[in-house]
Amino acid sequence: MTGADPDRRTAPSVLPAIAMLVAGVFILTGFLLYQAIAERSALLITLGAQEQPLRQVQQLKVQLDAVATGTAKLAEQGDKGAKEVIDWLKSQGVSVRQ
């Protein structure tokens, strides 16, 4: 016997494979976290851009409600033009609060 036994085989080490797997999981986790933060940032920017138009729409709605309410009061008082406007709004399915 010369020192190396040909029948004796060594098992391959699984440590490099496990280390690569763990490194891959950490890299994937980091990438997904980066993506989530970037998407959140983009959504916050989009939300911020929508705030001013939303406020303008709300102001316009308040003004429109005031005009519609005034028109309804005029129609109650007998104004012919206001009554036609209210009747047209009702035919379109718009309810006017008084």
Give pLDDT tens digits for 34-76: 999 999 999 999 999 999 999 999 999 999 889 988 999 998 8
pLDDT band at 97 (very low <50, low <70, confident <90, very high): confident
3 part of a folded domain: no
- Quick one: tokens of 10? 């060594």
> Which range marks the domain in which residue 49 is found?
15-91
Distance, CA of 40 to CA of 17 (rounded, Å):
35
63 part of a folded domain: yes
83 part of a folded domain: yes
Distance, CA of 83 to CA of 97 (rounded, Å):
14
Choice between 65 and 26, residue whose per-residue pLDDT is larger: 26
42 part of a folded domain: yes
Q: Indicate whether 25 pLDDT > 80.
A: yes
- What's the number of domains the chain is made of? 1
5 part of a folded domain: no
3-state SS class at 19: helix
Q: Average pLDDT in the 3-23 region? A: 81
- Quick one: tokens of 7? 């029948």
Distances (CA, A) of 13 to 17, 20, 21, 27, 49: 8, 13, 14, 23, 56
48 part of a folded domain: yes
- pTM, two decimals, is 0.53
86 part of a folded domain: yes
66 part of a folded domain: yes
